[in-house]
Each structure stands twice: as structure tokens, then as C-alpha cells.
Structure 1
């Protein structure tokens, strides 16, 4: 099975080198970095360390769709630039996807911090995904290329595109939540505060599920970051 790891990036030079080296150790068929008009060295780093560098308008949905369009793999893995997958998790994903009835899935979540509060938040996120099917992009969503094309990729939403995509994926076919975890950086919580970041994220998701217009949600989200 050919695996294409697709990484949307915007001004991620500070984390990209180490993370691309980590992904290279997993030996996927290809690593694709989709740069969304970065103003730092993101694109230069990607050209040296990734197999393909694609440029796109900024916005994760547009970037991930652009990466998928250029991908050669049978299995697409969408990984945030500040997130990692362990070798154990990667091989677990490959074993699961041997079952042709599985359309795709995601990993559990681990936040790279010793904070008890962040450990609880990560644990809660995994439970949320397991029991309510609410999966975010930092959980490294993976999907068969054929299925991705059938559901027409990510919708052009400015926010919650990952949540909306995964809900459509679940309707299309069987999905799996791996017990292995994607490891994501704690920088958002450390920069903006754990309580504030968590409360804001919960509110955004609740309003999205209540059909609040995504463009208004996005403007509000950006205004209070």
C-alpha cells in the first residue's frame, strides 16, 4: 500500500525540520508539504526535506485538497505540521487498512506536555472521538484515496473542515479510531492559556454543530486569538 503523508503548512519553519525527519523514518511512499503562502522558510525547508512541495492559497481545506490532488498514494494521511506519528501507530494504521471495508480513520490524541490538565484534555479528546465521532485534524486523519475522491475531499470551510470531513467519511464507510496516538505540540495551549483555548474550542465546535455560519465563526476565532 502506497502512503502519501500530506502536511498543510503556514509559517511552520520552527517545527517543520524535526517533524519531517520524524516522518521520513516511517518510510511512507511520499511526503507532501502544501505551503499556504508562508512568509518564513517553510517552503525552502519543505523543498529540501519533503518529496513534493505544493503551493496553495492559505486555509487547511484548500491546502489538503491540493496535496491530495498531487498525491500518488492509495492511502492519504493528513498530518498537521506540529504533529507526529509513532512507528507503532503508523504500522498499526497499515495493518488496519488491509481490511478493504475500512474507509479510513484517525489516531487517539496526545499533547506533548507533562501538564496534568493537557493530559486530561487529550484523554477527553480521544473519548470524544470514540463515542461521538468528533475527530479533529490534529488526530492525523487517514483515508483511502478512492474514498477521498468519492466524497469530494474537504469542503471549502474556513474552520471545522476536519470535523465536517470526518463526519462525511463516517457516513461513507467504516472508520476506525486507533488506540495509538498522534502527538501534537502544546504550543497553542501554552501561548493562549489552557482554560481559554479549551473553552474557545468547545464553544466553536458546539456552534458549528448547531449550524452557526462557519465564516462568522472563523472571523470570531481569529479576532480573539
Structure 2
């Protein structure tokens, strides 16, 4: 079973290379391809990505559209979506675990154990609550390494070309297809989004979720989020 690893990127020259180097060290007994979909980077992101992956470029940065495009261009029976600032550490057998999980038709998708590149209590709290959210509310966010089969991805309707909440929308649909599997292998993400204030940023994220539940469109939410 071919595994397609799909990564959206935008101006990630400082982070992307590290992830790609880790990916090419994975177990060669499991066939995989790496696809990077760039959203218009102005740094060396595309040049770095081309050393390791098949690269596509879209005209506008839109993470939902980039993920959707990457899935459409992929060839895998299994789709694994990663953020470009993620790190997997030394876990060469991770693909075999993903493959094994998805042979069980009970599971429509799975996710990894989230951690941050900071050991501060605030980030440990975020990582723990993210796992609880995915397990009990059926919401897998992009930094948790969502993986699923192409069959289940298509049953759920796939990613939508929206600039925000694309992971929320897909995971809710995948949860209706089957159960989620928590794979306790660590995926580490950058804490950089909180560098302008941890609590303020955290509360802003919750406010965005509330507005979404009240019916605000992802396009309007993105304007608030990226302001």
C-alpha cells in the first residue's frame, strides 16, 4: 500500500527541510511518496522541497485548497497530512504503524500524540487537551498528523478549499465514517504561533472556534485569525 505524505507550505525555509530529512529516513520497506504544495512562497521553500519531494505550486496561500490539491495529485492508498513545521524525531517505523491501523475497517482515520518544541506547562496542557479533543470530540487538527485511507477520505468528501477550519470540517465528516485511532507516537509542532502572547493567542483561537460554531464562514474567520 503506497502512502502519500502531503504537506502544505508557505515561506517555510527554516522548518520544512528538517521534516523532509526525517521523512526520507523512514522505513523503505513501506512505499511512500512526499508531496509538497506551496502557496506562493517568497523564500527558499520550493527549492528545499524539490530536493526531497514532488512539488506543486498554487497561486494563492489557502491551506484547505493546498491540501485538497495535494490529495488530488497523490497516488497513495493511504493519505498522511502533515504541517511543514512538524517534527517526527527518530521514529523510522511510523509508516508501518499507520498502515497497520488502517487495515482495521473500524477506523476511518488516526492521529499522533502531539507535543510542542517547548517543555513549558502551557504547551504540555495544550498537547494533552488536543489529544482529548480528538479522542472524545472527534476533532483532529492539522498539527496532529491526520492519516486516513483514500477510500475514507473520498467518502468524507475530502478537504475543502477554505482558508481556515479545513481540518475541523474534514475530521467531523471522517468521524461519521468510522472511529478515530490514537497512535501514541509523538509529533512535535512549533510553538511559534504563541510567541506574541500565549494566553492571548489561545483565547483568540477559542474565539474563532466559537464564531465558527455560530455560523461565521471560514473566509471571514481567516481575516480575523490572520489579522
TM-score, normalising length: structure 2: 0.91
Q: Any stretches of 5+ residues in structure 2 without a counterpart?
A: none
**174-183 or 4-13, which deviates more:** 174-183
The answer as to 2:152 corresponding to 1:150 is: no
Q: CA RMSD in A?
A: 1.6
Kindly indicate whether the alpha-carbon contact (under 8 Å) linking 2:80 and 2:147 is maintained by their aligned counterparts in 1.
yes
* Number of corresponding residues: 221
CA–CA distance in structure 1, aligned partners of residues 40 and 213 of structure 2: 30
Structure 2 SS opposite 1:100: coil
Which residue of the partner structure matches residue 137 of structure 1? 142
**180-189 or 76-85, which deviates more:** 180-189
Q: Any stretches of 5+ residues in structure 1 without a counterpart?
A: none
Which residue of the partner structure matches residue 73 of structure 2? 70
CA offsets, 1:192-213, max 9 Å, x none? 2211121111111122123222
* Closer/same/farther in 2, CA of residues 204 and 89 from structure 1, 3 Å limit: farther
How far does residue 124 in structure 1 lie from its aligned partner after superposition?
Answer: 1.3
Structure 2 SS opposite 1:58: coil
How far does residue 90 in structure 1 lie from its aligned partner after superposition?
Answer: 4.0
Kindly indicate whether the alpha-carbon contact (under 8 Å) linking 2:26 and 2:94 is maintained by their aligned counterparts in 1.
no
Of 118, 121, 125, which aligns to 2:126?
Answer: 121
* Closer/same/farther in 2, CA of residues 203 and 90 from structure 1, 3 Å limit: farther
Report 1:1-225 matches (<5 A): 1-27=1-27, 29-50=32-53, 52-56=54-58, 57-86=60-89, 87=91, 89-189=94-194, 191-223=195-227
How far does residue 58 in structure 1 lie from its aligned partner after superposition?
Answer: 1.5
* Closer/same/farther in 2, CA of residues 103 and 131 from structure 1, 3 Å limit: closer
Kindly indicate whether the alpha-carbon contact (under 8 Å) linking 1:7 and 1:81 is maintained by their aligned counterparts in 2.
yes
